[in-house]
Structures are given as structure tokens and as C-alpha cells.
Amino acid sequence: MDLDLIERLMRLLENSSVNELELTENGTRIRLSKTVAQVTQTSAASAASSSTESAARATASASAAGPREHIIVAGLPGTFYRSPMPGEAPFVEIGERVEDGRKLAIIEAMKMMNPVEADCTGRVTAIHLEDGAPVTAGMPLFTLETSA
């Protein structure tokens, strides 16, 4: 599976008015959606309820954000890591200016490390999750202040 293609498709979807995209090629099916799946609280999910609530607050504030703020969301579920290895410096800190394509974090999913990259140039104004936090697809990760 071509992760670069999936990442490009995610960026295209995020910057368009389309809410859902489905692509099938050579027997491989990819479905991307902007809507966040509703979380059902079970005993296993209750442990993550506080991060779900903070993600909901971040999503609510993101929708009220001005035109200069850009939210970077998780493209897949997994575990959020701010640095390349435990004990190393984070990829990015609040207040730091980042260029389009710069690695901001990693999401570990099924023992694969998936980079989270900036999809625009801007200054990091918020990091919505703690290192090692569980993440679901569509959850806000970073807020960037853009110049446009």
C-alpha cells in the first residue's frame, strides 16, 4: 500500500469541499472521510473518554477558529508520539514555525510508524495530545497559525 498516495489523498480531501472519497485500484480499496465516527462508550473505551472529551472540545474550537488557523488531524487510529524515540526532543514545540511537509509527530499503528506532517506553512499554536496518547482518525493533533 502506497502511504505517500494515501497522505496526498488525505490532504486533497482536507482542502476540498468533498466530505468523503473512495478509490479502488488493482484490488486495493481506500475510503477517506472527513466525518469522525461516533465513539461508543464501553468499558474499554471509558479509559480514553477524557481524551475523547478534549478532542471534542478541540473540534468545537476548531470549527469556531478564524481563517488564519489550520487544524491538522489524525489520518488513522493509533498511538501519538511527539518525538522519534523515547527520551529524544520532540519534533516540534508550540511557537515554532514549520514548513509544508515537515514532520510534526508519529502515529504508531499496528507496529508501523506513520509520520504526521504539516500540510501548510505556519506557526504551531497548539498541540492537542500528550505524548503516548491514543488517537482516532479525524482527531485534532496540531493547530497552526497560517499567514494566508
pTM as predicted: 0.56
Residue, of 106 and 24, whose pLDDT is higher: 106
Residues 74 and 127 reside in one and the same domain: yes
- Mean pLDDT score, 129-145: 94
Average pLDDT over residues 98-113: 94
Judge whether 57 lies within some domain.
Answer: no
Domain contains 50: no
Q: 142 in a domain, yes or no?
A: yes
Q: Does residue 80 sit within a domain?
A: yes
- Is residue 49 situated within a structural domain? no
Nearest to 70 by CA among 21, 123, 113: 123
Same domain, 148 and 78: yes
Q: Assess if residue 52 is contained within a domain.
A: no
CA proximity to 127, closest of 57, 48, 71, 78: 71
Region 137-145 average pLDDT: 94
The pLDDT of residue 44 is 33
**Mean pLDDT along residues 102-112:** 94
Residue at 56 is within a domain: no
DSSP codes of every residue in 40-97: P--TTTGGGHHHHHHHHHHHHHHHT--TTEEEEE-SS-EEEESSSSTTSPPS--TT-E
Question: What is the distance between the alpha carbons of residues 70 and 118, in angstroms, rounded to a whole number?
Answer: 10
For residue 27, the enclosing domain spans: 1-35
What's the CA gap between 33 and 61, in Å, rounded?
Answer: 20
Alpha carbon separation from 52 to 15, 31, 64 (Å, rounded):
24, 23, 19
Number of domains in the chain: 2
Any domain includes 103: yes
Residue 5 binned pLDDT confidence (cut-offs 50, 70, 90): confident
Average the pLDDT over 73-87 and give the result. Answer: 94
Average pLDDT over residues 118-146: 94
Q: For all residues of the chain together, what is the average pLDDT?
A: 77
Give the domain CATH number at 143.
Answer: 2.40.50.100
**In angstroms, rounded to a whole number, what is the distance separating the alpha carbons of residues 103 and 53?**
26
Q: How confident is the model at residue 38 (pLDDT cuts 50, 70, 90)?
A: very low
